[in-house]
Structure 1
Amino acid sequence: MERLSGLDASFLYLETPAQLMHVCAVMVLDPSSMSEPYSFTTLQQGIDANVHDVPAFTRKIRGVPLGLDHPVWVRDTAFDIERHVHRLALPSPGGYAELMELCAHLASLPLDRSRPLWEMWVIEGYRPVDAADDDPDRVVVFAKMHHATVDGVSGANLVSHLCSLEPDAPPMLLEHSEHPRSPSRGELLGRAVLGTAARPLTLARVLKPSAQVIAKTVSRARQGTAMAAPFSAPRTSFNGTITGHRSIALTNLALDDVRAVKKQTGTTVNDVVLTVAGGALRRYLAERDELPAGSLLATVPVSVRDTTRRETGANKVSALFTKLGTDVDDPVERLHMLAERNRNAKEHHNAISADALQDWAEFAAPRTFGLAVRTYANLRLAERHPVVHNLVISNVPGPPVPVYFMGARIEVLSPLGPVFHGAGLNVTVMSNAGRLHVGVIACRESMPDADALVRHFPVELARLTEQVEAAGSRGSAR
């Protein structure tokens, strides 16, 4: 029997029809590299052969009687690939706009909790705008997995189970794990009662280090070295109560350009990505006469897989807050400002236990937590209190070399995270074979056209590159 960690279970409790807690990925595939001509049946059967005995793909959740504890994973003995891998086609001609509209619709649909919490939609007939006349249509796979089952790193690892480094090579295998045992109702109830009785002791163990963290945070704030504080963000049009409708947009950046800026300025890839995102958001808001005087505040998820003491649980993440410098027009000035802020934020974050978020999440009571989320949404409280944060930005490392999904070369690999009440915008960046794929997903009512934001990313990177090179030339001349 495998119990969900408190953090994994929290994503189940956070979910409502408007606040969907699955993560998505858009994979654009070139089928010409496949050893046999593409067919949906062959692709579906290939996926089935590779996931049928993998617990991460074939387990489902089972609740604990009376909601006394977090759910457990059990094997879906009736697993059927046809309930998870579906087929669609774009209307001809199927271009970028049509693909984004379809992906946004699929992202707006909840996953069926009576089955393993994932699905893939194979979309045929996609024609990229830059495709040559003799190029074949692309096949797009729109994948969805619930956040209770994956975080950014584990999600990428699961996708790699269906990928290979050569078109004809077998997929990269996951580490072997056993299927979870299905416990009896009495066993579930007994473990839940014991766990509930032990909570006061667990709370006592968590309180002391948390109090120490608060004291250190106050000290850092006085010294000006603390990470940005939540509830200090300006309000924008995408900071309110969200609906279940989504808008999606994608773009690509050259990784070499990002690395060149990093090298010349002594910063990091993440610093450059956040600087470009800050510039894009500044342009987007200025076009709508919505640019606030203060900087937007982003939550940046951080993997703690290398430092956590916990061996179980799919989500091994923490988060830090950082201001994006949207109040600064000059991109080089914004980059250096962000680099300093990020150094302080990382030092502050490293001073906090890697397991702090997971420890506190253990106290999320299923019924109480779910009721609180629904009440929060129904009363539209996100519009009444100060803004916690404006958006979530994730930077996920991907494969540095070309990879193949069931033999088809992956041209685009763009993950998309969830959006929340109060922060209806998520930006996720993933590297893949020399490119940075940028995925933007938003609540459709607060950002009807996500492409109006994402189109500024290449412009801002070009602007930053130009000014960094110009500054370097002036320095050389002197």
Structure 2
Amino acid sequence: MDHLSGSDAAFLHLESPETPMHVGSLAILELPADYSGDFMLDVRTHIQERMHMAAIFQRKLVNMPFDIANPIWVLDEDIDIEYHIRHVIVPPPATRNTVDKLIARLHSSLLDRSRPLWEMHILDGLPVPKDLPEGTRYVGLYSKMHHAALDGMGGQVLMEAIMDVTAVPREPKKRMRRRESSKGDNYGIAELAASGVMHNISQSVKLTKNLPKWSKKAYSMLKPSINPDGSKAERMNWLAPKTPLNATITNQRSFARFSVPHADSKKIAKLNNVSLNDVVMAISGEGMLRYFADEGFSLEDPMLAAIPVSVRPEGNTELSNQVSIVRMSLATTVKDPLARLKAINISSTHAKTLMSDVKSIVPTDFPSIGAPWLVSSIASTLTRARVANSLPPFANVLISNVPGPNVTLYFAGAKQVSIYPVSIPYHGMALNITLQSYNGWLDFGIISCQKLMPDIHELAQHMTDAYKDLLELSLNAYGETPAVLSK
């Protein structure tokens, strides 16, 4: 049986109506002026022909008896394609803001757990840049997949299955014949219970073996640390300072997006001898500072960012989530932007060193006896008791940098112009900033709680301005000139 790992199941059990645990994206697709087909029909045909190439399309959950262990995945070949792929008209007037509000609404609803955990929405009526040929049509592809079913490796498999490098879709791989011995979801209670017990025993043995080493490393990662250069200026605390965004969230979302040139972002990194990820942290921190200043809020301690880090061993191709979280300082108490960038680099280097030491022993699966009801009860308590409103946060914001292809991709014959991630905010960390590199650009997707951050587009603008200012400062300091790009 294909059991959910502990980390996969955590996304399932932590889910509530206020905190959907699916990830998504908004792809902007371009149809040429001479296109005369039915794109909705093209998409459904395109996905149906390739369902067998990505496991997420055809597997669903079956719960264990009495929730004694985590659910299992089973094959579901009875897919209602019209349910999973839907047509949506953007409410007029079609502007960037109306599209973003629509994405926020679509992202706030839970996926149906009785079906495979994915949906796609084709958005018609998107605004089209005026410099394109008359008749060119922009279409949005908003997709959402449950995080329990999809991590970075699963996302890569999914992209390889549904995307092409030319406008003419390639021939899909042949569908493998289903073995007659496959039971689908027709397992008996005794069979499920026995499998759950055996899985828990095997995971208990693994956890016991690595627990001493893991506990020691976990302490070293969490404890307050001084910068590697010996400086005490940016000491990281046990907990992050409280901000208006570190509170209990509702089930309503706000979403904004923007893009910056990849080449100029790498130039900032190269000139300052830091990483591209450090540049992302710097513009995120500065954008948040400017946003909080507009709200009349200030901080005395540096903000901390939570950063997802892969712990997947080399050559491992399992589709289960294999990630951990590290924290780093955004150095927001350092006034000079270039000096702050250096301080961020020191903090990120320290975080990478700690993670490299612990990567091989971080558990991604663990015993799950009683986990479904226990973790779900914790998630319910976080919502009802509004615990996040009174407790100091572990981190102020989650920031994730997803590497993507540097070539033009096509979906069902349409050219992909941009791909904006749409991720997960949670209680105590209501802001999630995720970006993906694609074809010469860094596409940022920012998501939060509508109640806590109704003006999220202001943060997007502040981050864009912070990027431009950091580029100008870097170029002036080192005598360089920027690339001329627009999007």
Normalising by structure 1, report the TM-score: 0.91
3-state SS in 1 of match to 2:479: helix
When residues 434 and 199 of structure 1 are mapped into structure 2, their CA distance, relative to the original with a 3 A threshold, is: closer
Which residue is equivalent to 2:260? Answer: 253
Q: Which runs of 5+ in 2 are unaligned?
A: 481-487
Which residue is equivalent to 1:210? Answer: 214
Contact 1:158 1:174 in 2 (8 A): no
Contact 2:27 2:142 in 1 (8 A): yes
Contact 2:153 2:319 in 1 (8 A): no
CA shift, 1:138, in A, is: 0.7
CA shift, 1:154, in A, is: 2.6
When residues 463 and 49 of structure 1 are mapped into structure 2, their CA distance, relative to the original with a 3 A threshold, is: same
Which residue is equivalent to 2:269? Answer: 262
CA distance in 2, matches of 1:256, 1:173: 35
When residues 342 and 218 of structure 1 are mapped into structure 2, their CA distance, relative to the original with a 3 A threshold, is: closer
Contact 1:35 1:168 in 2 (8 A): no
Contact 1:26 1:140 in 2 (8 A): yes
Which residue is equivalent to 1:457? Answer: 463
Which residue is equivalent to 1:378? Answer: 384
CA shift, 1:261, in A, is: 1.1
When residues 174 and 294 of structure 1 are mapped into structure 2, their CA distance, relative to the original with a 3 A threshold, is: farther
CA shift, 1:157, in A, is: 3.4
Which residue is equivalent to 1:58? Answer: 58
3-state SS in 2 of match to 1:221: coil
- For 2:357, give the aligned amino acid: A
Residue 97 in 1 paired to residue 97 in 2?
yes
CA distance in 2, matches of 1:144, 1:349: 29
- For 1:303, give the aligned amino acid: S
Superposition pairs of residues 5-44 of structure 1, within 5 angstroms = 5-32=5-32, 37-44=37-44
CA distance in 1, matches of 2:420, 2:10: 25
3-state SS in 1 of match to 2:347: helix
CA shift, 1:407, in A, is: 1.2
CA shift, 1:133, in A, is: 7.2
Contact 1:397 1:430 in 2 (8 A): yes
When residues 447 and 154 of structure 1 are mapped into structure 2, their CA distance, relative to the original with a 3 A threshold, is: same
When residues 283 and 319 of structure 1 are mapped into structure 2, their CA distance, relative to the original with a 3 A threshold, is: same
Which residue is equivalent to 2:439? Answer: 433
Contact 1:55 1:177 in 2 (8 A): no
Greater CA deviation, 95-104 or 189-198? 189-198
Residue 140 in 1 paired to residue 140 in 2?
yes
Superposition pairs of residues 178-327 of structure 1, within 5 angstroms = 181-182=183-184, 183-197=187-201, 201-214=205-218, 216-217=220-221, 221=225, 231-307=238-314, 312-327=318-333
When residues 195 and 78 of structure 1 are mapped into structure 2, their CA distance, relative to the original with a 3 A threshold, is: same
Which residue is equivalent to 2:79? Answer: 79
- For 1:70, give the aligned amino acid: N
3-state SS in 2 of match to 1:439: strand
Give the superposed CA RMSD.
2.8
Which residue is equivalent to 1:109? Answer: 109
Contact 1:88 1:122 in 2 (8 A): yes
CA shift, 1:441, in A, is: 0.5
CA distance in 2, matches of 1:316, 1:149: 12
Question: For residues 317-341 of structure 1, what are the alpha-carbon distances to aligned partners after superposition, in whole Å with 9 as ceiling and x for unaligned?
Answer: 1121011122233221111111111
- For 2:293, give the aligned amino acid: A
Contact 1:4 1:313 in 2 (8 A): no
Contact 2:26 2:140 in 1 (8 A): yes
CA shift, 1:235, in A, is: 1.2
3-state SS in 2 of match to 1:93: coil
When residues 416 and 425 of structure 1 are mapped into structure 2, their CA distance, relative to the original with a 3 A threshold, is: same
The sequence identity of aligned pairs, in percent, is 30
- For 1:452, give the aligned amino acid: E
When residues 177 and 77 of structure 1 are mapped into structure 2, their CA distance, relative to the original with a 3 A threshold, is: closer
CA shift, 1:91, in A, is: 2.7
Contact 1:164 1:403 in 2 (8 A): yes
3-state SS in 1 of match to 2:190: helix
3-state SS in 2 of match to 1:41: helix
When residues 402 and 89 of structure 1 are mapped into structure 2, their CA distance, relative to the original with a 3 A threshold, is: same
CA shift, 1:199, in A, is: 5.9
When residues 216 and 248 of structure 1 are mapped into structure 2, their CA distance, relative to the original with a 3 A threshold, is: closer
Q: Which runs of 5+ in 1 are unaligned?
A: none
CA distance in 2, matches of 1:76, 1:412: 32
When residues 57 and 210 of structure 1 are mapped into structure 2, their CA distance, relative to the original with a 3 A threshold, is: same
Which residue is equivalent to 2:357? Answer: 351
Contact 2:382 2:388 in 1 (8 A): yes
Residue 423 in 1 paired to residue 413 in 2?
no
Contact 1:238 1:425 in 2 (8 A): yes
CA shift, 1:286, in A, is: 1.1
When residues 223 and 436 of structure 1 are mapped into structure 2, their CA distance, relative to the original with a 3 A threshold, is: closer
CA distance in 2, matches of 1:277, 1:173: 41
When residues 322 and 28 of structure 1 are mapped into structure 2, their CA distance, relative to the original with a 3 A threshold, is: same
Residue 334 in 1 paired to residue 336 in 2?
no
- For 2:40, give the aligned amino acid: F
- For 1:340, give the aligned amino acid: I
Question: For residues 155-188 of structure 1, what are the alpha-carbon distances to aligned partners after superposition, in whole Å with 9 as ceiling and x for unaligned?
Answer: 2431332111111141786998989753433221
- For 2:311, give the aligned amino acid: V
3-state SS in 1 of match to 2:296: coil
When residues 341 and 464 of structure 1 are mapped into structure 2, their CA distance, relative to the original with a 3 A threshold, is: same
Greater CA deviation, 107-116 or 26-35? 26-35
Which residue is equivalent to 1:162? Answer: 162
CA distance in 1, matches of 2:332, 2:46: 46
